[in-house]
Structure 1
């Protein structure tokens, strides 16, 4: 039992801490091929471009090879491999976290909006399509080895007899 209770209402002070983006793993470097572990493109191999200010990493398929567009991905959702690709011909310096921000619309909470049919998804803007092409042209043009092209096109899967702890990427 507590013998003493304070008579004052003491409010706890909440301290907001600044966001510290995650450090880039030591094994990951620009141009390295990574395997995505989660999401719509799970198991696909992608090329690492750079780390964004938020701590997420910027990757691309290239879209022509495996359908993975420019994406932000947490590092924990990837496995680095030993394969590297030359990305010196592509310009992705303009891409930052604001590039991926969605436009906010004011939602009307009326009875009509509740029963209205669902809105269609907005197609990608022409500017984003042009950015995707310009980044991918620089990467695809530098990949001369047909085995690397085939490697990027195939998905990673565990098959019978494959134990994850014994694999070397």
Structure 2
């Protein structure tokens, strides 16, 4: 390769204040991921082109280096698609599909419900239509398991019942936080969260699962079992939970 006239190479002059970065942290991580992928051979051949290419001056014939236009040859975006990745929690040995437990938190606390299965996000899918508890998810920390169990192998859970089916409030939360910030700056009444309303489509999907659970509870051979599922869990003045056997 002939000698390159370094005076013809354009160098960018940085006029940054002390303590400031030329690139954002996001851009630096993106460039670092690109270089790592280059080393591991995960980038196709056309993306491995050198950013500085050799050119010849038509008048003098001297060789010089020219920087490629970053808009024409951008660094490929290696950031993965934002798909939710949930970690399946390891449940206790007492938590198996069909276990009857008591809810310890929420609007339906102290009610007995049937644990059907674990949703993709790791929460428990529970239901008991006899006490007005629709299909809902709850953390295993707030589920007190008992020794009573039912055979839920014949229950068909609708495919729509995933994490986003029960928890999809991002747009509502953003609108509420925006209105709350606006009211705190400009003054005025604080916004009130709207009550969650079930659409007819969701009510039909919930009914499919609730009817199956209700039929399973009513088909139990013990006649007192239905009353047991309808009763709320209460503690008297001399009841000690740590001495009880559930």
Pick the TM interval, shorter chain. Answer: 0.7 to 0.9
Whole-angstrom distance in 1 between the partners of 2:209 and 2:155: 5
**Structure exhibiting the larger radius of gyration computed from Cα positions:** 2
Counterpart in 2 of 1:49? 116
Counterpart in 1 of 2:90? 23
32, 37, 41: which one aligns with 2:99: 32
Counterpart in 2 of 1:15? none
Q: How many residues are paired up?
A: 151
TM-aligned CA deviation for residue 89 of structure 1? 3.9
Contact 2:100 2:112 in 1 (8 A): yes
TM-aligned CA deviation for residue 118 of structure 1? 4.7
Counterpart in 1 of 2:143? 78
Higher relative contact order at CA 8 Å, sep ≥6: structure 1 or structure 2?
1
* RMSD (Å), alpha carbons: 2.8
TM (normalized to structure 2)?
0.54
TM-aligned CA deviation for residue 82 of structure 1? 1.0
Q: Name whichever structure is richer in helix by fraction.
A: 2
TM (normalized to structure 1)?
0.75
Structure 1: runs of 5 or more not aligned:
1-10, 12-17
Contact 2:86 2:122 in 1 (8 A): no
Task: Pick closer, same or farther for the CA change 1:163–1:128 going to 2, 3 Å.
Answer: same
